[in-house]
Amino acid sequence: MTIPVDASPGIRIRQAAARYGGPDLAWMCVPVLLGSPVTDEDLLLCLGGPHAQMIIDRGVGDQPYWPQVWAARALLYVWDPAAGPAVVEALADRSWRVREMAAKVCAKREIGEAADHLAALATDPTPRVRAAAARALGIVGEGEHAAVLRRLLDDVDHDVRMRADQALDRLTVRLDRVL
pLDDT at position 2: 65
Q: What is the pTM (predicted TM-score) of this model?
A: 0.94
- pLDDT (0 to 100) of residue 160: 98
Q: Evaluate if residue 176 carries a pLDDT over 80.
A: yes
3-class DSSP assignment, residue 147: helix
| pLDDT tens-digit readout, 110-164 | 999 999 999 999 999 999 999 999 999 999 999 999 999 999 999 999 999 999 9
Asked whether the beta carbons of 114 and 87 are under 8 A apart, the reply is yes
pLDDT of residue 27: 96
Q: Identify which of 133, 127, 119, 120 has the alpha carbon closest to the alpha carbon of residue 166.
A: 133
Largest CA distance in the chain: 54
Pick from 160, 171, 115: which is nearest to 138 by CA? 171
Helix axes 41-58, 22-33, angle to 10 degrees: 40
pLDDT (tens digit, 9 = 90+) per residue, 50-75?
A: 889 888 888 767 788 999 999 999 99
**What's residue 54's pLDDT?**
85
The rounded distance, in Å, linking the Cα atoms of 170 and 119 is 16
Q: What does the alpha-carbon distance between residue 67 and residue 63 come to, in Å, rounded to a whole number?
A: 9
Q: CATH second-level architecture of 96-179?
A: Alpha Horseshoe (1.25)
Which of these ranges, 62-66, 80-84, 106-110, has the smallest mean pLDDT? 62-66
What pLDDT is attached to residue 1?
47
User: CA of 179: how far to CAs of 100, 148, 155, 158, 170, in Å?
Assistant: 26, 11, 19, 22, 11
CA distance 12 to 64: 21
Domain ranges in the chain are: 1-90, 96-179
- Closest among 17, 4, 153, 154 to 80, alpha carbons compared: 17
On average, the pLDDT of the chain sits at 94
Arithmetic mean of pLDDT, 33-50: 91
